[in-house]
Amino acid sequence: MQDKAKLVPEKIHIEEFFITKGQLNSPEGFDLINVDGHEWNAAFNLSFDLENKLIRAELTIDIKSRSKAKSNQEEASCEFTFVFIFKVENIHELTELDNSKIVVLKGGLGNALSSISYSTARGILISRLQGTSLQDFMLPVINPNDLLKAIKKPKKTGKK
C-alpha cells in the first residue's frame, strides 16, 4: 500500500523552544592553536500528544575538542539540550499507531522535524560558542534521517 500522507511545511509550527541544558567547560590555559579537531555526538528523541497535535523534539549535542599530542592538559567540552514543541495541524494524516501503540511517522514528518531541530540548533551553537574555547567548532551538515536512528557513536571532524 502506497503512503498517501503529504507533508505540508506550512502546517508545522514551532510553538515553544527551550534550552534545557547549556554547559561549557573551558579549561584555564586552554590554547586554541593546539586544537586539531573535535568529537561530537547527537541524540534525538520525539514524544507525542496526538490529541493536541503536538510533538516534543529533544536534541542533545555533546562536543569535545581534540588537541595535538598532550598540548592541552584538559580538553574543552560542552553539552547543550534543545527542546522544540511543534504543532502539526495535519498530524493525524502523518502519524499512525502500530500494534504496539508506537507512533509511526509518515510522509517525511520525521525528516522535517529532525531537519528543523538540527539546523536551528546549529545556528544557536554557532552563536553560543563564539568567543569560547570551542569557537572553531561548527556542527556539520548531516542527513537528518541519521538523527532518527539514535546516533550513538561520536563523529569526528578535522580542523578547518
Cα–Cα dist 88/132, whole Å: 37
Q: How far apart are CA 73 and CA 34, in angstroms?
A: 11
Asked, for residue 5, whether it belongs to a domain, the answer is no
pLDDT number for residue 136: 94
| pLDDT for 159 beyond 80 | no
pLDDT digits (tens, 9 = 90+) for 41-93: 999 999 999 999 999 999 999 999 999 877 788 999 999 999 999 999 999 99
Measured CA to CA, the distance from residue 1 to residue 3 in angstroms comes to 7
Domain total for the chain? 1
Is 95 a member of any domain? yes
pLDDT at 101: 86
User: Can you give the pLDDT at residue 5?
Assistant: 79
Let me know if residue 72 belongs to a domain.
Answer: yes
pTM of the predicted model as reported, rounded to 2 decimal places: 0.88
Q: Is residue 30 part of a domain?
A: yes
45 within a domain of the structure (yes/no)? yes
Q: Is the pLDDT of residue 151 over 70?
A: no
Residue 144 lies inside a defined structural domain of this protein: yes
Beta-carbon contacts of residue 22 (< 8 Å; ≥ 6 apart): 78, 80, 81, 128
Domain limits for position 74: 11-150
Structural domain contains residue 157: no
pLDDT digits (tens, 9 = 90+) for 136-148: 999 999 999 999 8
Q: What is the CATH number of the domain that holds 23?
A: 3.10.420.10
Domain contains 156? no
Provide the greatest CA pair distance for the chain: 61
* Chain centroid, CA 43 distance in Å: 7
- 3-state class of 1 per DSSP? coil
**Alpha-carbon distance values, 46 to 39, 59, 74, 102, 120 (Å):** 24, 9, 34, 11, 16
Residue of 14, 141, 126, 140 lying closest to 78 (CA atoms)? 126
For residue 98, the model assigns a pLDDT of: 87
